[in-house]
Amino acid sequence: MTKSKAGRKGQEFSLEFRQQALLRAATEGVTTVARDLGLQPAQLYSWRAQARRHDQDDQAQCLELAEHARLKREVARLEEENAFLKKAAAY
């Protein structure tokens, strides 16, 4: 894991570094990992919360895409049904 320092106030860490730190924190504990990496435990908690929000956003987006696809299929089915009924009404 490597740290990448940005030109801003404080440090900015790569996504890979944060993911590895969170994986370690899950097994070794937040306090231990924070101390080993020279971080504040609050930083790891913040990263964990961000990761959870991101996961929830991804799940919500997946559900929306699935619902969109279902609705498109439903519209196509109803259009076919409507066309059939128009033909049947013509007789």
Containing domain of residue 59, as a range?
Answer: 15-90
Q: Is residue 70 part of a domain?
A: yes
- 34, part of any domain: yes
Model pLDDT, residue 7:
40
Tell me the three state secondary structure of residue 14: coil
In a domain, 38, yes or no: yes
* Cα distances (Å, whole numbers) of residue 12 to 1, 9, 15, 61, 70: 13, 9, 9, 27, 41
Q: Report the pLDDT value the prediction gives residue 90, as an integer from 0 to 100.
A: 87
| 36 located within any domain | yes
* pLDDT computed for residue 58 by the predictor: 87
For residue 4, is it within any domain?
no
* Tally of domains within the chain: 1
Strands (E), the chain: none
Residue 59 in domain: yes
Angle between helices 41-90 and 15-28 (to 10 degrees): 110
pTM for this prediction: 0.59
